[in-house]
Every structure is written in C-alpha cells, then in structure tokens.
Copies of this chain bind each other. A is one copy, B any other.
Amino acid sequence: MSRYDTVVTNGRVVLPGLSNLAEVAIGIREGRIAAVAEDITASEADEVVDARGLAVLPGGVDSHFHIGIYRPIEQDAASETESSLVGGATSIISYFRTGSHYLNKTGSYREILPEVLGKADGRAHTDYGFHIAPMTTAQLDEIDWMVGEAGVPSFKYYMFYKGLNLAASSTDAAAYTMSDSYDLGHLFAMMETIAEADAKYGARGRVSLSLHCESAELIKLFIERVKNLSLPPLEAYSRARPALSERLSIHEAGVLASEARVRINLLHLSSADSVRAVREIRRLYPDLDIRAETTLHHLCLTYDMLEGQGLGGKVNPPIRTRHDVDALWDAVADGTIQWIASDHACCLEELKQDDLWPAQPGFGGTALLYPVLISEGYHKRGLSLERIAQLVSSNPASAYALYPVKGVIAVGSDADLALIDLEREQVVSRELLHSAQDHTPFKGVSVRGWPSVSMLRGRVVYRDGEVVAAPSGAFLPRPLSGRRQAAVTL
C-alpha cells in the first residue's frame, strides 16, 4: 500500500500566508491533503499528478450560484457544476427560494429542502451547499432548524422584489414571491431571527444574511423614463436599474442590520456608487460584520462591449460602464470587496429572445471564475495569486462556514485543487464553458490563464477540456465538521 493515494508534484503552489509560489508537492490520502513537502516521490503514491508548468491553487468556491432557477434542478446540478470544474471551482453554494421559478411553489422548507437535496443528489460534479431565502413569515420560524440541523447557515433577501418580479416585467410582486409580507418589515424580522441563530450557533461557524441590493420603487420610476428613450437595450437596462438604486438599498440594509446586529453579505456590487455606499456604511457601523461580493461579469463586461449582441447579457444588477468596472477593481484591490463569484444561472436563449423587458435576467459564468481573475487581476492589475486565491476560495469559504475544509491548501483540508496554466490564452466560446446554456455574453472575450486540471477531494475530475469522472459532488452541510480536518481546538 502506498503512503499516499495521490501526489501532485512539480507544481508551484499557492500556500496560505505566502505571497510567492512554493515549489512543493502535495500528498493526498482519503481525499484530504496529508502532506505538503518539498520532495514527495512518485513511488510514494498510487497516482501522480504532474503539475509541471502549472500553478496550484485551492479549488474555487463559487458562492453565488442558481441551480434550478430556470431549468429542473436535476439538469442544472449536472450540467452547470460541470461548467464550474472548467473554471477551477470545486465547490458551489447555490441560492434557493420558494415562489416563482425554481420549484414554482411555496411551503415549508422542512419539506422543500429535502426535496431539493433529493433532486441534486448524485448529479453534481462539485461539492455543493445551499443558501436559503425565507420568503414568508412562516419560513422565518424555520431558520433555527436550518442553521441548527439542516446545514444552512446563510440566507438571502431580495430588496427589489418588493414591487417587481425578477425580470421587472410585472409589478405583481406578491404573486411572484408567493408571499404577502415581502418588504423591509419582513427583512428586519428575518435579520433579528438570523442574529438569534448566530448567537446560538455562531461559535461553530458564521451565520449570515446575504442581500441583493436594488430598490424596486426606484427601478419602476427609471424603467418608465428609459422606455421613453431610444437606447441600446443593455444600456437601457443599466439606466433602468441605476446605481442609485443599489446605493439606497445598501444604506437601508446598513440601518436595519446595525439595529438587528446581524452579519451581512452585500451581493454582486455592480457600480462605483455601490462601492462608495459600502465604504460609507462600514464607517457608520464599525462594529457590524459587513462583507461585500462582486461578480466576475461586473469585473469584466460593460454594456458597450455587449452592444449588438442581444439580451444575453441582461442580468440583475445590470452590466454597467468601464468607470464602474475600474471602481470595482479598485475595491477588490483595497479590500472593500471580500470575494468574487459568478452568480451563475443557466438561462437559455429562448428565455431571452428579443424584447428587453420580459427577457429573463442572468447567465452563466462559473467556468470563468479563475480565468477572469488571473487574466484581469493577476496579469493586468498585479494582484498576487495569494490574493486571488483569497477572493475566489478562502474568503467565501470563511464567510460561509466551509473553511478550512474548503478554501485552502493545508494539511487536513480537502484536496480540492485547481491546476492552472497561467500563460494559456483562450478566446471564450460557449462550447468551452461546458454549460447547458446555449449562448454566452463572454463570447469573444480573451483571457490569459486557464485551468488544466481540477481535483475534487483528491481525484482528478477534469483535465484539459474534458470531465474525466462521474459526478461525485456531495452536499456540504455547513458548518463543515471539524472531524473532516486534522485540526483540534484546544
């Protein structure tokens, strides 16, 4: 019997605390990292993964995902996590809620969550967890159970559902959310309930609320204004959901969270103004745990780039301008933003079509998580690979109670690895992404830096454009238990 099941050799490894790459080998046993050493020999392992010429990073944790929003969970769980492997992400956390889309029903999460897990079971190529959005008053009473027993310590509130549906094509929000109380009162009650759960269970792992910060009341006004103008559709959409709307929502969230003393995550910041608002509320409420996310598309695309390419790039919040892209990168660089996710939603062309307002928002991007960060962040803006690993892996893992089982290359951690050719250039096409989505707004974008191999719990599951293993992703009940790690608390 060999000492290790697998050894990754010859790579240059991103280790925590080190800004330079280390020339070390990684010994893997039973899916976990058993050794980091200068000189593990091939003979010590059953299998050798030769990482010569590659950088070895912790597998990405794509913490903003939408399995099953527009298609059956069973289908998305399979096809879209395959796309994650392409981009070096080995764990995802998907949002789920009752109401329209997803399962198109409402009810008790004690019943619905098992149904969701059942549909995903056995199909995913990455490990996966869920964030849950309590939509009704009754569901608030299930938060304690979700945190304490169901492995879900992170929740979501959609600030723009108050008077709109997802596409902003209808104002019958109650029909959409299947809730009669989805407003700031509901939000505040949710915050208090989550804060209570954090007080009760937080020692085991962070319990938090994520917020989609846009304001329905402003959006309705600006949609009417934009309809009177003649603008390219994605510019129109950006103006119809202006940054002011994010800024307002972020300040609302700050006031309420500071009163409820709940930990919050501000999702998918899209604009210079939303970045400014995050800085403002951090100064206003210095004792509040406020974390901020942006997406790879907000770091990479502008509506000008997408002009003439249809509605594939419609997303909430919208794709904006170069000025906003630059402001987001500044916020990534100075620490205002803690992590980056894809907000991946497989949204077929038939749901987009040609009419801006009814077109469904969202698209997939998980395959580009590491590629965009390495291309735009490391090569163009000088971010270190250590910082990129934090943004894509360690920080979301920490925020969502997966760390250090996920999110780091350390002895005892799961052997989830992304082996990346830092110099490989790719022009994005939909085929490259391995998603079921039949188009991509990233089409034609050129990136430098592309994963060659993805390893999930010690097994090579993706290599050179091909998935090479049957789906082996497991549900991640959070906080991930210490039993899985060679670490003890004194």
Overall SS of chain A's interface: mixed
Whole-angstrom distance between the Cβ of A407 and the nearest chain B Cβ: 9
Closest Cβ of chain B to A448, distance in Å, is 13
Please pick, from B12, B186, B221, B252, the residue contacting A188 in the complex, using a CB distance under 8 A: B221
Q: Is the CB of A37 within 8 A of B411?
A: yes
The one of B22, B55, B251, B487 that contacts A411, using a Cβ cutoff of 8 Å: B22
**How many copies of this chain are found per oligomer?**
4
Quick check: is A280 within 8 A (CB to CB) of the other chain? yes
In the complex the two chains form, is A489's CB within 8 Å of B35's CB? Answer: no
Tell me the minimal C-beta distance from A398 to chain B in angstroms.
10
Contact A218 B252 (CB under 8 A): no
Q: Is A308 close to B, CB under 8 A?
A: no
Query: Judging by beta carbons under 8 Å apart, are B404 and A487 in contact?
Result: no
When distances are taken between beta carbons in the complex, the residues of chain B under 8 Å from A488 are 12, 20-21, 23
Q: Which of A172-192 contact B (CB under 8 A)?
A: 183-186, 188-189
- Residues 1-33 (chain A) with a chain B CB within 8 angstroms: 3, 12, 15-18, 20-24, 27, 29
| Residue interface mask A217-246, B partner, CB < 8 A = 1 | 111111000000000000000000000100
Q: Does A444 sit within 8 A of B, measured CB to CB?
A: no
Could you say which residues of chain B place their CB within 8 Å of the CB of A410?
15, 17-18, 22
A residues whose Cβ falls under 8 Å from a Cβ of B = 3, 12, 15-18, 20-24, 27, 29, 34-40, 55, 163, 183-186, 188-189, 215, 217-222, 244, 247-248, 251-252, 254-256, 259, 277, 280, 284, 385, 394, 404, 408, 410-412, 422, 482, 485-490
- 12 additional contacts (CB under 8 A) given A36-B36, A185-B217: A17-B408, A22-B486, A23-B412, A23-B487, A29-B38, A34-B37, A34-B38, A35-B37, A185-B219, A188-B218, A188-B221, A248-B252
